[in-house]
Structure 1
Amino acid sequence: MEAYVKQEIKNKIATIEFFHPEHNSLPSNILAKLANTITEVGNNNEVKVIILKSGGDRTFCAGASFQELISINEAATGKVFFSGFANVINAMRKCPKFIIGRIQGKTVGGGVGIAAATDYCMATKFAAIKLSELNVGIGPFVVAPAIERKIGVSAMSQIAIDANSFYEADWARQKGLFTKVFDTIEELDVEVQKFAEHLCTYNPEAMQEMKKVFWRGTEDWDNLLAERAAISGRLVLSDFTKETLKKFK
């Protein structure tokens, strides 16, 4: 199947779904389309609540596209690539609607950042998380603010330093990333839909004001995440990272 980002609006609920055949990894074009779709749907007056999900029944998101990382040959190009994740997170942050995350499987790197940037996130027991960036010589610089905001610096630093390990979905729930963890995708989907329908009964103005309150203190993220993208863009050109990425060719 071809990679895609698609949206569906039904009964005031917008569902945004992204997909990539390589375990839902995210190349630049998909990141750009995802950010634009979130902004577009967020500004649609017919929408009260957004559900963010990925295609397939296994990996939620494998993070950055290794094929694209391998092709980066200059810092400016690297900054542009990592800014793709910054743009998605900032689009989610600025979106005036609550975004419900539906995490069906394992989540790596940038995918953890996207999950953390949702306003309410539910998952299956298969949704283990990992920040693997240090393994390839970079770090989770762009997504770190979103993850820190949700689970705290201590827990974020634990998974960032222990870059080899997957942390189980229940660990992520205990730390505050996930609100609920279900045994099956079917149970997850039922609860996500039920919760979205319930949110549609709320005053949309009240939800919008609450979202502003929840994200207070992140007003500098346009600049902060751009600075973090520049760090990753520089490090991806290091000899260490270049040698490591060769293994993925």
Structure 2
Amino acid sequence: MNANQGTLQTIINNRIATVTFGHPASNSFPSEQLQRLTDELNALSYNTEISLIVLKSEGAGAFCAGASFDELLAVSNLEEGSKFFSGFANVINAMRNCSKLIVGRIHGKAVGGGVGLAAACDYALATKESAIKLSELAIGIGPFVIEPAVSRKIGKAALAEMTLAAHEWKKAQWAKEKGLYADVFETVQALDAELESFTSKLASYNPEALTEMKKVLWEGTENWNTLLYERAGISGRLVLSDFTVNALNQFKKK
């Protein structure tokens, strides 16, 4: 597998499927990686041998840096732009429609689409290093595709606070207070200890009850099957603007 396209691994143990994604560029997502994660979540939804999914990323740095800057810069027309941002729409809808509850292990910083992934988890545990940022406005686009998932967890007021202050990091404790994280731990070791304890309990519960609970948690999001792709079209159009092309090139030089 080409490391530049990222890695994806699933390990199943004690009715828990642990899905780990990775990429050399701060666990960012190129299109191919987004599609692999979507396909894996869709497959696990039908796997009767598991009760829940843990979503995590590799390494000790960032949890997820969002979209691949290289691919954003390579977008040359509206169709390509819409298709690229639809990759995140596909993943979020796969997480939403998955019959299994998804627990996120957010060990480090999350930016843009990474915040969207954390928000689309049914339950997320983090460390004090798990600061979050929605920097999209600073590069001429916006967090349009992931917004429904983020707003569902933290509300529109907190979303505005994040998006309009596009250069600011919000601390993990802030994210916990707003409802993005269920709990925040001092160390990765403490995070993993709680993750193991929590998921072991959850996996011991009635699988049918867990599936029905998942449906309840996502009530009212049925329109996301169209909404997220409409939003992908907005981002796909904006990424072609001179403002965004210049901004992306400036960010890449840093």
Structure 1 length normalisation: TM-score? 0.98
- Deviations 1:116-136 (Å, cap 9, x if unpaired)? 000000000000000000010
Count of matched residue pairs = 249
Deviation of the 1:89 alpha carbon: 0.3
Hey, what does 1:235 align to over in structure 2? Answer: 238
Q: Match for 2:34: what amino acid? A: L
Counterpart pick for 1:142 among 135, 142, 145: 145
Matching residue's letter, 1:182: F
Deviations 1:137-192 (A, max 9, x none): 00000000000000101101110111000000000000000011001111111111
1:75 partnered with 2:47: no
**Range that drifts further, 238-247 or 102-111:** 238-247
What residue in structure 2 maps to residue 203 of structure 1?
206
Amino acid at match of 1:206: A
Tell me, in whole angstroms, the C-alpha distance in 1 between the residues paired with 2:211 and 2:57.
25
1:212-227 to 2 correspondences below 5 Å: 212-227=215-230
- Partners of 2:247 and 2:183 in 1: CA distance: 36
Q: Give the Cα separation in 1 of the matches to 2:25 and 2:241.
A: 25
**What 5-or-longer segments of structure 2 have no aligned partner?**
none
Q: TM-score if structure 2 supplies the norm length? A: 0.97
3-state SS of paired residue (1:64): coil
* Structure 1 stretches lacking a partner, 5+ long: none
Tell whether 2:87 aligns with 1:84: yes
Partner of 1:186: 189
Q: Name the SS for the 1:123 alignment partner.
A: strand
Q: Deviations over 1:88-128 (max 9, x none)?
A: 00000000111000000000000000100000000000000
| Runs of 4+ residues over 6 Å off in structure 1 | none
Determine the C-alpha separation between the residues in 1 that align with 2:46 and 2:193: 26
Structure 2 Cα separation of the partners of residues 60 and 42 of structure 1? 23
CA distance in 1, matches of 2:89, 2:206: 30
Structure 2 counterpart of 1:166, which letter? W
For residue 42 of structure 1, report the CA deviation from its aligned partner.
1.8
In structure 2, how many angstroms separate the alpha carbons of the residues matched to 1:64 and 1:200? 32
What is the distance in 2 between the residues matched to 1:42 and 1:170? 31
Match of 1:96 among 91, 95, 99: 99
- Identical-residue share of aligned pairs (%): 54
Q: Please name the residue that 1:55 is paired with.
A: 58
Match of 2:132 among 108, 129, 140: 129
CA distance in 1, matches of 2:196, 2:90: 27
**Aligned-CA RMSD value:** 0.9
